[in-house]
Structure 1
């Protein structure tokens, strides 16, 4: 009845890397998808694979919902990752063949010419040699700490008739793609680690270098909090982030056909087993493709950067006045995130604004929102910001922002004990005509101006009193002490959301039982929660049509006779990362649409502070419903999940295939109603 969540995630990453194999995509974009695949895989090992390994080490042998035990999952991960990395390497080779047609070549160290070697010798002596620190390993110099996700060269030396190990870390401050002498318009590069390997003898003068290999490790990246004796959560997390670099080694990536003695010494020193070792060809750290930027015709090599659309009715107008006129729906990245930034900036400068309250989960490195909040606090406005310190791998960034905001005079909350605050909400309290008016922004994605250009998310501006009151209740809850919350329009996890979703699903089931139509469309990043899946099965068995758009993990098994015949699962992987959470319920033709920060995952419903909010404006609701219909009709970037766990492309005829993202990028409209009209013409 359930797919394994880890293996389902790996299926998602396969869909990512296959985007790199599309010949009609610009070549640097294809290499970027190779990098995304590797970056995703790094995080998977640091978190999910590490968790499975922890279960094995403590002797836990229970069955998960897919009827697999931890050791079975761990073994299956190893097999699947080996298959996927081989697929990635084959795609990478095809990418390099294709980019060579543009006169751009990555040269292997074994294929360098004599003139190449002479040029590289000069480059090495001037730019590389002074930076390197060779590390010998013997009785007086123990095996050093190997940095997470850094590239190293292991060297086998003969010292006094005995094999000895030495290590060299490939420096991060030097471009990893070293330009080679080229004629005409050709561009030739080799890797920095290859350059270092060529001249290892200079680092170990007087000793014979017998062999070498390049390797990279991944460490357990999960933070284990030890709260005893700590004064506050900030201290705890700062210490935990520091300890991450000492995490247990989870994965060893090493060049294929490496020297057996070197491999054995490295495995023994790092305490890894055979099923934690992955042999690679090509670049060992394929996230480097993010940084590959050869010169040349960028129009042919790269995708044109998309410019978000401006909204005519928001131009040259006070944003508070615009919100008073109507609820405003924003769909990123198709519509500019600047409207959200300007909402905060205007509030920080407006003398009538008394208070700004906001939750921040992930923000960019140079956030204008953070600056505006600091400015508002310095001007004496009451600024309350919940900075979630446990946003995985953004902990240090968030700690820095939290301290800066405190120095500006903002009231900073470091999250709720035992819960991550993942909700996306801003409340502006403004004095208008001797009364208080509340303006609220609610969203499905983070307040991050950089990822807003790459992720599809939805947001709503409103000054409805019912939502404003609930927003005040919500912020009072997270800044004070409470074990429950009473709201009327907003639904809050972990207090009400699970029960609300179950009620909505059960209502569709009961309508179907009475002979009425039942229909659910739900879009999210991941579907994992066992109870929600079971409720969907119950609804499907009564004839409810269930259409799921799940980008990543999906443990629900669709299309099974007698269980899920009426359930379909679509995954869209395209230029933008599909990140919106949208929930549609037919409700006997009185349809309801909700947006949320929450996926249907146990962690979101039980262990996070999340928000679910209704779309009450009928025109906006219709617009969102049509966007869902468009995505379900995608035949170019959409994949369909089969009952055997495999995904197949929905692509029909390539000439007529339609991409929902492409339609939304090119659609011409002025407001919600003209959007609806324009989209209906295209569908």
Structure 2
């Protein structure tokens, strides 16, 4: 077997599917609490949403364009699509079985996920009151006819389709009720009984369509192509181009349709007569759609005993007491292993620099910082304190573009200098540089990390942080930030640190070659993305 043999390679998309299967397998694990298992179902569903929005959408676009070029694995776009659909068809039954098993287990613990038809009269009365007070005023019913066209549905929109019968002449019509993603996914009507919102709306939909009898209803959800194609080199205003791309994302081609199980195909035919989704990308489920909504149940405080107790990351010496972090860095290099060690010292590093009257400059790269970022707020404070603040905000961080645009505008408004990425590349580097006046000299403080400047994800993902005053690292950090500001990244070479795509591959190959030369004494351990 040679290096050119296609059997030597895994296809990227099919390999990703196997990864997500491993996520689903965690939901089978009876050794972990029930809500932890449900959490893995939610993660599996969220992952699959993104896979269809980006990976499947990209393959469909390649196939539609007539592109048959293959990679090292020799699979064409059509072959990949066929394999993906076969895998997901098989896994659908597994997913439904796992959900039912978890649902039965939760019922024994007092948490019941029920249909309206399973409730008693008193519970239905409570549910009706909830519908009238909280849902009736905000949901949008539409009878689809010549004067009321099928409405536009944004990506990951959730709705129910209904078949109606006129009380006047018996004619049949179709209708839709859009369900806002701002509404709770599940409603707890009394202690421990949860009902999905689409079931509530379907049950009482007759109050929305007074002249009709409800014959049947079915929930459905759509996934659109969310992969933005940005021609950076042709952009006069990259911010405007990205903003337009975000708007376009809501209108991309529908690449997947998820539908609840129906008694017949009439409602599915009605939905797809308007959406025109390939029949091979239609999935009918006997479990609730929009699995990401299960996080609401996972987070129910009354059932916290059905989750793994939260882990509290440690703050170890020399940072365990109320120390001044910049002074501590002058005496020690500090390595932090997240999430086992707290991310707080990293936040403290930026916050201390923002407040320190002797700090002249703070420079950072920002990729995924989160919604309520204490680090970005510290940078804004530093800029307002007349410090020189430079932030590279990567606008091409997928699904964080809108959040990053928001923070970029906030930083600029405070007086910071904002760089919007590098044409043709995504800046994944996680690096911060603080420059402080100490006596008559300048002192540099550097933070390097494998993880994002995001306190929330730092509690979940394994990453390494280094806080250092190493002069060689500082010199390279200054050079890197200058290259980001001037756009000369492709020509920049650092002396101690290494950057991609110009240095890392060459160095890794050199290190591999050294181990080959060492013969039986050679050893390679790598962890890479």
Shorter-normalised TM range: over 0.9
SS for the counterpart of 1:455 is coil
Which residue of the other structure, out of 433, 436, 441, is the alignment partner of 1:430?
Answer: 436
Structure 2 unmatched ranges of 5 or more: 1-7
Task: Give the match for residue 472 of structure 1.
Answer: 478
Displacement after TM superposition at 1:251 (Å): 0.6
TM norm structure 2 = 0.94
Which residue of the other structure, out of 276, 281, 287, is the alignment partner of 1:276?
Answer: 281
Is 1:165 aligned with 2:191?
no
Contact kept in structure 1, 2:396 and 2:426, CA below 8 Å:
yes
Q: Return the alpha-carbon distance in structure 2 between the equivalents of residues 433 and 318 of structure 1.
A: 18
Task: Give the match for residue 505 of structure 2.
Answer: 498
Task: Give the match for residue 65 of structure 2.
Answer: 58
SS for the counterpart of 2:31 is coil
Which residue of the other structure, out of 216, 238, 253, is the alignment partner of 2:258?
Answer: 253
Stretch of structure 1 that moved more, 251-260 or 38-47: 251-260
Q: Return the alpha-carbon distance in structure 2 between the equivalents of residues 156 and 384 of structure 1.
A: 57
Task: Give the match for residue 681 of structure 1.
Answer: none
Task: Give the match for residue 187 of structure 1.
Answer: 192
Q: Return the alpha-carbon distance in structure 2 between the equivalents of residues 236 and 62 of structure 1.
A: 29
Contact kept in structure 1, 2:259 and 2:283, CA below 8 Å:
yes
Which residue of the other structure, out of 242, 247, 250, is the alignment partner of 1:242?
Answer: 247
Task: Give the match for residue 411 of structure 1.
Answer: 417
Task: Give the match for residue 312 of structure 2.
Answer: 307
Alignment of 1:633-648 (within 5 A): none
Task: Give the match for residue 219 of structure 1.
Answer: 224
SS for the counterpart of 1:254 is strand
Contact kept in structure 1, 2:116 and 2:124, CA below 8 Å:
no
Task: Give the match for residue 4 of structure 2.
Answer: none
**Deviation string, structure 1 residues 478-512 (Cα, Å, up to 9, x no partner):** 00132301211111112212212222222222322
Structure 1 unmatched ranges of 5 or more: 525-598, 600-683
Displacement after TM superposition at 1:226 (Å): 4.9
Relative to structure 1, is the Cα distance of residues 258 and 517 closer, same or farther in structure 2, using a 3 angstrom cutoff?
farther
Displacement after TM superposition at 1:127 (Å): 1.9
Displacement after TM superposition at 1:210 (Å): 2.3
Is 1:374 aligned with 2:380?
yes
Which residue of the other structure, out of 32, 43, 47, is the alignment partner of 1:40?
Answer: 47
**Deviation string, structure 1 residues 324-374 (Cα, Å, up to 9, x no partner):** 222110001111101100111111111221111100000021111111111
Task: Give the match for residue 175 of structure 1.
Answer: 184
Contact kept in structure 2, 1:213 and 1:259, CA below 8 Å:
no
Is 1:16 aligned with 2:29?
no
Displacement after TM superposition at 1:209 (Å): 2.5
Q: Return the alpha-carbon distance in structure 1 between the equivalents of residues 396 and 194 of structure 2.
A: 40
Q: Return the alpha-carbon distance in structure 1 between the equivalents of residues 281 and 172 of structure 2.
A: 25
Count of paired positions: 517
Task: Give the match for residue 524 of structure 2.
Answer: 520
**Deviation string, structure 1 residues 627-668 (Cα, Å, up to 9, x no partner):** xxxxxxxxxxxxxxxxxxxxxxxxxxxxxxxxxxxxxxxxxx
Is 1:352 aligned with 2:358?
yes
Contact kept in structure 2, 1:180 and 1:188, CA below 8 Å:
yes
Contact kept in structure 1, 2:391 and 2:418, CA below 8 Å:
yes
Q: Return the alpha-carbon distance in structure 2 between the equivalents of residues 407 and 258 of structure 1.
A: 56
Displacement after TM superposition at 1:295 (Å): 5.0
Displacement after TM superposition at 1:227 (Å): 5.5
Which residue of the other structure, out of 311, 320, 326, is the alignment partner of 1:320?
Answer: 326
Contact kept in structure 2, 1:213 and 1:258, CA below 8 Å:
no
Q: Return the alpha-carbon distance in structure 2 between the equivalents of residues 7 and 228 of structure 1.
A: 32
Displacement after TM superposition at 1:83 (Å): 2.0
Task: Give the match for residue 133 of structure 2.
Answer: 126
SS for the counterpart of 2:257 is strand
Q: Return the alpha-carbon distance in structure 1 between the equivalents of residues 125 and 318 of structure 2.
A: 63
**Deviation string, structure 1 residues 74-121 (Cα, Å, up to 9, x no partner):** 011111112223222211111111111211111123322223222222
Relative to structure 1, is the Cα distance of residues 489 and 226 closer, same or farther in structure 2, using a 3 angstrom cutoff?
closer
Task: Give the match for residue 547 of structure 1.
Answer: none
- Higher share of residues assigned helix: 2
Displacement after TM superposition at 1:443 (Å): 0.4
Displacement after TM superposition at 1:161 (Å): 5.9
TM norm structure 1 = 0.73
Task: Give the match for residue 464 of structure 2.
Answer: 458
Q: Return the alpha-carbon distance in structure 2 between the equivalents of residues 50 and 390 of structure 1.
A: 18
Task: Give the match for residue 2 of structure 1.
Answer: 9
SS for the counterpart of 1:403 is helix
Task: Give the match for residue 114 of structure 1.
Answer: 121
Alignment of 1:550-565 (within 5 A): none
Which residue of the other structure, out of 59, 71, 77, is the alignment partner of 2:84?
Answer: 77
Q: Return the alpha-carbon distance in structure 2 between the equivalents of residues 521 and 504 of structure 1.
A: 11
Displacement after TM superposition at 1:164 (Å): 2.6
Stretch of structure 1 that moved more, 138-147 or 110-119: 110-119
SS for the counterpart of 2:230 is coil
Relative to structure 1, is the Cα distance of residues 297 and 213 closer, same or farther in structure 2, using a 3 angstrom cutoff?
closer
Q: Return the alpha-carbon distance in structure 2 between the equivalents of residues 35 and 95 of structure 1.
A: 12
Contact kept in structure 1, 2:140 and 2:179, CA below 8 Å:
no
Q: Return the alpha-carbon distance in structure 1 between the equivalents of residues 332 and 92 of structure 2.
A: 50
Displacement after TM superposition at 1:230 (Å): 4.9
Displacement after TM superposition at 1:265 (Å): 2.2
Which residue of the other structure, out of 203, 207, 215, is the alignment partner of 1:210?
Answer: 215
Contact kept in structure 2, 1:21 and 1:30, CA below 8 Å:
yes
